[in-house]
Amino acid sequence: MDNQDEDLYYEDPKNKYVKKQQDNLIYNYNSMPNKEIPYNTVSPNYYNQNKNNYEKGKISSSRPSSILRYVKVIIPVLLLFVALTYLLLVVFGFGHSNKRRTFMIYMVGSDLESKSKQGTFSIEDIVGENIDLDNNNIVLMVGGAKKWHNFVDPGEIGIYELTSNGFKKKDALPVESMGASSTLETFLDYSYNNYKAEYYDMIFWNHGLGAIGIEQDELSKDFLTINELNTAFKNSEFINDKLEITIFYNCLASNLHLANIMKNYSQYMVASEEIFYLSKVLNRLNFLEKVEPYSTAYDIGHLFIEQSDKVVKEYNSTHTKKIDSTLSIIDLNKIDNLNTTLNSFIKSIDIDKNYYEISNFRRKTHTYGLSQTYDYDTIDLHTLVESLGKISNNEKASKKVLDSLDEAINYTSNLNEYSNGISVYFPYFGSESSIETHLSLFNKIFNDSYSSFINNFYQIRSGAKQAKRSVSNNSYNKLTNNIIKNEDGSLSIILTEEEVKNYQGANIYLFKKINEEQYELILQSDNLLLTNNILTFKNNNVLMANNVPISYVNKTVFGKVYDNSDDLDVKYTIENNKIVETILDSNDYISSSLLDYNEYNSISFMNLRYKLFENGVFNEYFKDSISKEEIKNKDNKVVLSIDNHSGEYFALIEMMDMYNDSYYSNVEIIH
């Protein structure tokens, strides 16, 4: 079919191309000046040409006077033709008129719903009576959580259609993993075949797993890898009929690897580079209320970002801990050119020659999601290319990448200075298993220079012994000198010239002795300053709750919140001895669920216990020995204080080198 005929036909599952019955309707309305024209009787081209008149609700034109002599003949024939056509459409099931858009929402509830009701809050944001349902279909597939706090049955996967009275169940499927490609494929085809529209749009809702996938199912512990995402779309109707826009209501989804999948099935995507926080007050899906018949994909993306930024700024105005916003609209039609320029540029980087500079840059560059996990390892692509351009002295080639990146990003809204719209995976902080999972997946899907670059970087980085101090590994690397306690109470250690040369970061651990085998982790911090060859930790104060020490890990305290029916594992962010943020602790993946601890009856803090041996080896904490000090929150007060250092305290310093190998000091008694 020629391109010029596209506006005259629509696709139908039973008849490949069916002629639209619109031209006659336009003609008849045009013959009657000042009549209102419903949008769904008008072809897209006609509508776009007459947008201003349509907005006013009026279209006027004159009919040639020569036609009047045929009116008595034409009208009866037209009436008979319309009646017969209508009868045939009804008999053969083609009577459903197409709408402007179909929005498909794929909501996997997971612990975000079962623990903190975030799925319920998002569904409540979608109010049918406030949305233009004459022109838009809103279809919801929902499941993947152990418990729902609304009308959803956890014993099935439900498909719902939005009506003016709320969501109405249209179908139910047996419980299967919503992290499987087949489940997503079912939803795509169901929506395409049952909710005909000129344009289709997708909203994914759930956890994001960075560059490897989205949509974590709580029941099966399964998620959609980017490969499975590709399979689902490739086997669906959208292999030939691209989505207009895909919105990722997920963490860390604005990355080049996910964009490389979606470019084959969607014109645009909207996603966040950073953690995408959820909360009862961060209501975003009501952006659908502002979608107009003439809204473009860019308009829709901008409406979503505008609403998101609005609620984030409102949240930040009333909370000490500020949350970030890093949403962008990406033109997926420009991703191929971005790939071409990036892969051409990256070939010019000599990793062997420049490894130290590249590794040092990578350590200092902001890693998204690092506040909650080390495993997803994504950084801003613009920052990477700009920095590598200086290292390689090939700024001309790097500028081509930056120019193509600017072309691909239609719009970005950031509340920080280090985000520019699209991130990229660069292995550094993640565990060995996490990095190998990423690279194995990429090597199956992508055959490009960038994938080779990060593979080569990791090969060099993992060449060291990876000597981690643990019960099973007594042959760890030792720092040359011991910890020194200074008169001002600070702790320091002198590094050798070789240690300074390879230095790329450090941690300090403080333990309090509980008995001969158990030691509580009182503090872990990376806030050490290297001056010349002296590494110093200046603040060794210990955080207390009701005079009981609590484990304080880089501004984070672990604990629980309690109400009448549930207790949730959480992480508290502490600043100036006050809780400034409470977030659900998901253990396996980043949680973006912000909680208000004041809504719960009481809270508690946890102390992480370790075994510490004579040679300073310690193992991971064992949860069955975690002690809890419950803090009654009756008056919304949590009492935190600084310990007076009574008892025996021990310090241990860990230094990381440019190969991510660790070197440890001896364990020193400091009190």
- Residue 374 is predicted with a pLDDT of 87
Q: Where does the pLDDT of residue 292 fall: very low under 50, low under 70, confident under 90, or very high at 90 and above?
A: very high
Least confident of 10-24, 324-338, 464-478: 10-24
- The predicted pLDDT at position 88 comes to 45
Structure-token match 């304080």, residue found: 552
CA-based nearest residue to 120, from 138, 99, 139, 147: 147
CA distance 273 to 326: 6
Confidence at residue 488, expressed as pLDDT on a 0 to 100 scale: 84
**Per-residue pLDDT, 650:** 85
For the cut 80, the answer to whether the pLDDT of residue 24 exceeds it is: no
- Helix, coil or strand: residue 556: strand
- pLDDT tens track for 103-157: 999 999 999 999 999 999 999 999 999 999 999 999 999 999 999 999 999 999 9
User: Rounded to whole angstroms, how far apart are CA atoms 569 and 585?
Assistant: 5
Task: Single out the residue of 333, 330, 281 nearest to residue 305, CA to CA.
Answer: 330
Three-state SS sequence of 560-594: EEECCCCEEEEEEEEECCEEEEEEECCCCCCCCEE
- 387-429 pLDDT tens trace: 999 888 788 899 999 999 999 999 999 888 899 999 999 999 9
A 10 A CB-CB count for 620 gives: 10
Exposed / middle / buried, residue 286 (Cβ in 10 Å: 0-12, 13-18, 19+): middle
Query: What is the pTM assigned to this prediction?
Result: 0.83
The order of strands in the sheet holding 548-549 is 548-549, 543-545, 640-642
> CATH 3.40.50.11970: which residues of the chain?
99-332
pLDDT at 371: 83
Provide the pLDDT for residue 172. 96
pLDDT category of residue 447 using cuts at 50, 70 and 90: confident
Tens digit of each residue's pLDDT (9 = 90 or more) over 277-287: 999 999 999 99
- Which of the two residues, 1 and 587, has the higher pLDDT score? 587
Integer Cα distance of 473 and 465 in angstroms: 11
* Residue 474 banded pLDDT, cuts 50, 70, 90: low
CA proximity to 359, closest of 264, 429, 261, 431: 429
The percentage of residues in the chain with a pLDDT greater than 70, rounded to a whole number, is 78
Residue 370 scores a pLDDT above 60 = yes
Of 670, 652, 655, nearest to 496 by C-alpha is: 655
pLDDT, averaged across the chain: 83
pLDDT value at position 60?
35
Q: What is the pLDDT of residues 146-196, one digit of tens each?
A: 999 999 999 999 999 999 999 999 999 999 999 999 999 999 999 999 999
pLDDT band at 372 (very low <50, low <70, confident <90, very high): confident
The total of other beta-carbon atoms located within 10 Å of residue 644's CB is 11
CA distances from 430 to 371, 375, 653, 655 (A): 13, 4, 20, 17
Of residues 131 and 540, the one with the higher pLDDT is 131
Beta bridge partners of residue 493, listed in sequence order: 535
**pLDDT for residue 72 is more than 70:** no
Residue with tokens 């087949």: 182
pLDDT at 33 over 90: no
Assign 37 to helix, strand or coil: coil
Token couple for 43:
């072809």
pLDDT in tens, 603-643: 888 888 777 655 555 655 555 555 566 665 545 556 566 65
Q: What is the DSSP letter of 540?
A: -
Round to whole Å and give the CA distance between 485 and 482: 10
Supply 600's token pair.
Answer: 């719960």
pLDDT at 586: 83
Q: Which pLDDT belongs to residue 604?
A: 86
C-alpha distances in Å from residue 136, one per residue of 102, 291, 468: 6, 9, 56
Q: Of all residues in the chain, what percent carry a pLDDT higher than 90?
A: 57
What is the DSSP pairing of strand 640-642 with strand 543-545? antiparallel
Distance CA 271, CA 495 (A): 44
Residue written as tokens 């201003």? Answer: 52
83: exposed, middle or buried (Cβ count in 10 Å: 0-12, 13-18, 19+): exposed
Residue 248, pLDDT score: 98
Q: Say which CATH class 99-332 falls into.
A: alpha beta
Q: What is the pLDDT of residue 639?
A: 59
- Among residues 245, 246, 142, 124, the alpha carbon closest in space to that of 184 is found at 142
Two tokens, residue 275: 């953690």
Query: 506: part of which helix (H) or strand (E)?
Result: strand 503-513
- C-alpha 110: how far from chain center: 14
Q: Identify the residue whose tokens are 């006659």.
A: 24
Give the integer Cα–Cα distance in Å for 539 and 48: 65
Residues 6+ positions from 477 with CB-CB distance below 8 Å: 465, 467, 661, 662, 663, 664
Residue 412: helix, strand or coil by DSSP?
strand
pLDDT band at 506; cut points 50, 70, 90: very high
Q: Are strands 518-525 and 552-553 parallel, antiparallel or unpaired?
A: parallel
How confident is the model at residue 516, as a pLDDT? 74
Q: Which tokens is 119 given? A: 């799925």
What confidence category does residue 306 fall into, taking pLDDT thresholds of 50, 70 and 90? very high
Distances (CA, A) of 630 to 162, 224, 557, 587: 44, 39, 14, 22
Nearest to 666 by CA among 491, 547, 438, 426: 491
The per-residue pLDDT for 551 is: 87
State the Cα–Cα distance between residues 234 and 646, nearest whole angstrom.
Answer: 64
How far apart CA 600 and CA 616 sit, in angstroms, is 40
Tens digit of each residue's pLDDT (9 = 90 or more) over 230-281: 999 999 999 999 999 999 999 999 999 999 999 999 999 999 999 999 999 9
Q: Is the pLDDT of residue 73 over 90?
A: no
Q: What is the pLDDT of residue 29?
A: 27
pLDDT of residue 337: 98
- Bridge partner residues of 579 (DSSP): 574
Give 329's strand partners.
270, 411
Higher pLDDT among residues 664 and 546, named by residue: 664
| Beta carbons of 570 and 561 less than 8 angstroms apart | yes
555-571 pLDDT tens trace: 899 888 888 777 899 99
Closest CA to 273 of 148, 158, 423, 165: 423
pLDDT of residue 13: 42
